Amino acid sequence: MTVMREKLIKEMTLRRFSPHTQRAYISSVAGLAQYYNKSPEKITKQMIQDYLVYLMQERQLAWSSCNAIVCALRFFYIQTLGMDSMFLSIPPRKKVAQLPEILSTEEVERLLGALKNQKHRTVLMTAYAAGLRLSEIVKLKLADIDSKRMMIRVRQGKGSKDRYTILSKRLLEQLRIYWAMYQPSEWLFNGTKSGYRMSPSTGAAIYYNAKKKAGIQKGKGIHTLRHCFATHMLEAGVDLRTIQVLMGHSSIMTTVVYLKVTRKQLCSTQSPLDLLNIPENKHSST
């Protein structure tokens, strides 16, 4: 391990960055160094800007991916190398707001029904029934399923925060069937190696496999089921504050986005055209 990498890891550890964030920052800095085949401290401001242009135009990375790399480079050059904050001179980054794609309840039924493997089906049911992130699903332990209180404990979710979410009766039934078949010991969803939890890549593959079998085109990844959980709860009449708590959102504004995609809210809104009393056009077009 190089001195620069050790120093970067030390700075991130002092700030209690999550392991995921640390890996992402290290990868971003390493990507820059590999692109120029130079040590990062020898790379100039113009070279960094050219690299970002390459990521946007040649590799066509999404804005969110470019933003994450910029954050990593800023941290490295300012906090790790102690350079002036104006060193990068990166213009303000454009933020693209995209609404999540939501599956209808009928599409969710098709998705879950497409899987015959009990373990795979239970993984997706857990994502949808409790509104969990993939990283939260793979970290679930048997002890986190509280059948007496009908709650699921989410350990160290996004932002290193614990929370509780609901345990549906139907999901509990499926979990009991799953346990009887596979008998996991510690982790709720074991990986291929004994004693290890399921990898996120496996969870993602399960979703894409089900999506393909069900013939569903919408939804980019397993996170779609978390979006469906929030949207369908909202359409069922659950208030935003409750959904915020279940989802683990720090701000209610993050939860408000589901108002923009809920069918109940949008379909109940009347177009102003429907309010007009316009005489029927009885003349045929010429």
Instruction: Out of 110, 153, 213, 223, pick the active-site residue.
Output: 223
Neighbour count for residue 107 (Cβ, 10 Å): 19
Instruction: Out of 74, 158, 213, 263, pick the active-site residue.
Output: 158
Establish whether 120 is a catalytic residue: no
Which 3-state string (H, E, C) describes the chain?
CCHHHHHHHHHHHHCCCCHHHHHHHHHHHHHHHHHHCCCHHHCCHHHHHHHHHHHHHHCCCCHHHHHHHHHHHHHHHHHHCCCCCCCCCCCCCCCCCCCCCCCCHHHHHHHHHCCCCHHHHHHHHHHHHHCCCHHHHCCCEHHHEECCCCEEEEEEECCCEEEEEECCHHHHHHHHHHHHHHCCCCECCECCCCCCECCHHHHHHHHHHHHHHHCCCCCCCCHHHHHHHHHHHHHCCCCHHHHHHHHCCCCHHHHHHHHHCCHHHHHCCCCHHHHCCCCCCCCCCC
Instruction: Out of 120, 121, 211, 249, pick the active-site residue.
Output: 249
Establish whether 77 is a catalytic residue: no
Establish whether 149 is a catalytic residue: no
Establish whether 23 is a catalytic residue: no
Instruction: Out of 120, 226, 227, 232, pick the active-site residue.
Output: 226
Instruction: Out of 258, 260, 264, 283, pick the active-site residue.
Output: 258
Instruction: Out of 133, 163, 197, 232, pick the active-site residue.
Output: 133
Q: Enumerate the active-site residues.
A: 133, 158, 223, 226, 249, 258
